[in-house]
Amino acid sequence: MSTTPVPLTDYEASYRDARSPLEQPEYVFWAPPARIPRGADQNRWKERSANWPISYHYSSLCAAAYERLNGPVAPTLRPLTQDQVRAMALELGARDFGVTTVDPRHVFRGCIVAERYAIAIGLDENPAEIDKAPALETNDEVMRVYYELGEIAIKLAAFIRAHGYPARAHHPLGSGDILIIPHAIAAGLGELGKHGSVLHATHGALVRLALVTTDLELAVDGPRDRGLADVCTRCKACERACPPGAISNEKQDVRGSVRYIVDFERCLPYFLENYGCAICIKVCPWNKPNFARAVLQQYAERQGRPPSESTRRLSAELEAGIRDDP
C-alpha cells in the first residue's frame, strides 16, 4: 500500500501556518455543560441515567477512558504500513476502516488537532436492540457500542504511538475536539443520511464511528458515492417516524456545504425524555442488508436508463416508509 504524502490544501496550510480564523463548528451537546446552551438538560440526563445500570456502567467506562485517548510516543521510529494499521483495527474489532486528512472546518472552535491524518473506524449495533427504540435497552446497546468503539480507537492509537508516530483517539461518546461524521464520510465509510447519521453499505444506519488522528504517513481513501443517500430523496421513513418532526426533507447550507440537517431544538427534548430515542436509526431501510443489496443493484443498473418497474415499486415502498425486506 502506497503512503505518498498528500499535498496541503489551502485550508490546511492557513490553519497550520497561521491558525487563521475559520468557520468552525460550535459544541451543541455532550460537551462541558458551561459551554453549551443546554448544559442544564445535559446534567439532568446524567443524573437520570445514573439509575440505568447497563447504560451507566458503559458511560462510566467511557468517561474513565478519556484519560487514555493520548499518551507518550515511542522515541524510536519503527516501520509501520497502512496494511498493518488496517489489520490491527480489524483485529481489535472494527468492522470498517478508512483514511482521510484532518479537515480544520470540522474541528470545534477553540480546539486544535495538530495531526495530519484521520483514520475512521466503524462498529455496528445489534439491530434487535435498536428495533426496541425508544427504550432503555436501545440506549444500553448504543452505550455498549460507544464503549467498545472507544476502546478500539484507544488501542489503535497506542499501537501507532508504540511505533514512534503521534496518534490520539477521538471517542464516539462526547464531542471531543473534532466532528467524526464528516471525516468518516470523507474516508469512504458511508454517506450522510437524512436523519443525520452515516449510511453504511453493509450496516446501514446501525454503524457508529470513531477517529484516530495521526502523523503516520497514510494513503487517503476519499469519499465513496454508492447511491445510498440518493435514496433519501425518495424515502420518507425517518422523516415520518420522528415524533417531534426534527428531520427535514430540505437540505441547508451548513458552513459552506449543502446537506441534510436535523433540528436539534426539536430533537433534543424528545431525545432526552426517551432514552436517547434512535427511532430514526431504527426505521432506516438501509439497516436491512438484503434491501441494501437490491437497491444498490438497481441503482447501478438504472444509470442511463429509465427506471424499471421494480425500481418504481421500491420507490413507492420507500415513499410509504415500508422497511420490510424486498
Give the footprint of ligand SF4 on this chain (CB under 6 A).
193-195, 231-232, 235, 237-238, 242-244, 246-247, 262, 267, 270-271, 277-280, 283-286
CA separation, residue 168 to residues 2, 112, 129, 130, 141 (Å): 22, 13, 31, 30, 25
Spatial distance between the Cα atoms of 313 and 175, rounded to a whole number of angstroms: 41
Cβ proximity to ligand SF4, 120 vs 235, nearer residue = 235
User: By C-beta, is 166 or 227 nearer to ligand SF4?
Assistant: 227
The answer to whether residues 244 and 152 touch, using CB atoms and an 8 Å cutoff, is no
Report the distance separating Cα 121 and Cα 132, nearest Å. Answer: 25
Q: How far is the CB of 23 from ligand SF4 (least distance, A)?
A: 24
Contact status, residue 123 vs residue 149, Cβ threshold 8 Å? yes
Q: Name the minimum Å distance from CB 302 to ligand SF4.
A: 17
Residue 107 or 246: the one with the smaller Cβ distance to ligand SF4 is 246
Q: Please report how close the Cβ of residue 244 comes to ligand SF4 at its closest, in angstroms.
A: 5
Distance CA 237, CA 248 (A): 12
Closer by beta carbon to ligand SF4, 141 or else 151: 141
Residue 165: closest CA among 155, 175, 157: 157
Rg (CA), the chain: 20
Q: How far is the CB of 248 from ligand SF4 (least distance, A)?
A: 10
Nearer to ligand SF4, 116 or 195 (CB): 195
C-alpha cell read off for 212: 484516530
Q: Which is nearer to ligand SF4, 120 or 247 (CB)?
A: 247
CB of 236 vs ligand SF4, minimal distance in Å: 6
For 241-277, b/e burial (b = at least 16 CB within 10 A) is bbeeebbeeeeeeeeeeeebbbeeebbbebbbebbbb
Cβ at position 187, least distance to ligand SF4 in Å: 20
| Backbone angles phi and psi of 229, in degrees to 5 | -75, -20
